[in-house]
A and B are shown apart, each in its own frame.
Chain A
Amino acid sequence: MTSSFLSIRNLKKSYGEVVAVDDVSLEIPRGEFLTFLGPSGSGKSTTLYAVAGFDEITSGDILLEDRSILGVPPNRRNIGMVFQRYTLFPHLSVAENVAFPLRVRGQDRTTVKKRVDEMLSLVRLSNFADRMPAQLSGGQQQRVALARALAYDPPVLLMDEPLSALDKKLRDEIQIEIRRIHQETGVTILYVTHDQEEALRLSDRIAVFNHGRIEQIGTGEDLYTKPATRFVAEFIGDSNFLDVASVADQSNGRACATLPDGTVLDGLSTHHVTRHSGRFELMVRPQWLAVAKEGSDGIRITVKDVTYLGDSSSALLETGWGQAIWLKGPAATLRGLTAGQTIMVGWDFAKSELFEI
Chain B
Amino acid sequence: MALSLDRNFRLALPALAFLLLFFIVPVLALLLRSVMEPEWGFQNYAELFATNTYARVMFNTFMVAGLVTLISLLLGYPVAWLLAIMPRGLANIVFSIILLSMWTNLLARTYAWMVLLQRTGIINKALLSLGIISSPLPLINNLIGVTIGMVYIMLPFIILPLHATMRAIDPVILQASALCGAGKWQAFTRVLLPLSMTGAIAGALMVFVMSLGYFVTPALLGGTSNMMLAEMIAQLVQSLLNWGLGGAAAFVLLSVTMLLYAFQVRFFSGYADIR
Q: CB within 8 Å of B: which residues of A? A: 52, 54, 73-81, 83, 85, 87, 89-91, 100-101, 103-105, 132, 134, 145, 148-149, 152
Please give me the residue from chain A that is nearest to B273 by CB atom: A134
B194: chain A residues at CB < 8 Å are: 91
A85→B180 CA distance, assembly (Å): 16
Cβ of B183 and Cβ of A75 under 8 Å apart?
yes
Q: Does B274 contact A (CB under 8 A)?
A: yes
Q: Which residue of A lies closest to B197 (CB)?
A: A91
Are A104's CB and B176's CB within 8 A? no
User: What residue in chain A is nearest B187 (Cβ atoms)?
Assistant: A75
Given the known inter-chain contacts A89-B191, A90-B195, please indicate yes or no for A105 contacting B173, CB distance below 8 A: no
Instruction: Pick the residue among A54, A77, A103, A152 that contacts B175 (CB under 8 A).
Output: A54
CA distance A100 to B186 in the complex (A): 10
User: How near does chain A come to B173, taking the closest CB pair, in angstroms?
Assistant: 5
Interface residues on B, range: 20 to 34
Q: Contacts A73-B178, A85-B172 given; 20 further ones with Cβ under 8 A?
A: A54-B178, A74-B178, A75-B178, A75-B179, A75-B183, A78-B181, A80-B179, A81-B179, A87-B170, A90-B274, A90-B275, A100-B180, A100-B182, A101-B180, A101-B181, A104-B180, A104-B182, A105-B181, A149-B179, A149-B180
Interface set of B (CB-CB < 8 Å, partner A): 170, 172-173, 175-183, 186-187, 190-191, 194-195, 271, 274-275
**Given that A81-B176, A91-B195, A100-B190 are contacting pairs, would A75 and B181 also be in contact in the complex, using a CB cutoff of 8 Å?**
yes
Min Cβ gap A11→B in Å is 19
- B170, B181, B183, B194: which has the most chain A beta carbons within 10 Å? B181
CB < 8 Å: which of B172, B182, B195 contacts A87? B172
Residues of the A chain whose Cβ atoms lie less than 8 Å from the Cβ of B173: 87, 89-90
Min Cβ gap A235→B in Å is 27
Q: Closest residue to A79 on the B side, CB-wise?
A: B179
Q: Provide 24 A-B residue pairs closer than 8 Å at the C-beta atoms, listed in order of the A residue.
A: A52-B175, A52-B179, A54-B175, A54-B178, A74-B179, A75-B179, A75-B180, A75-B182, A75-B183, A75-B187, A79-B179, A81-B179, A83-B175, A87-B170, A87-B173, A87-B176, A89-B176, A101-B181, A104-B181, A104-B186, A132-B274, A145-B176, A148-B180, A149-B180
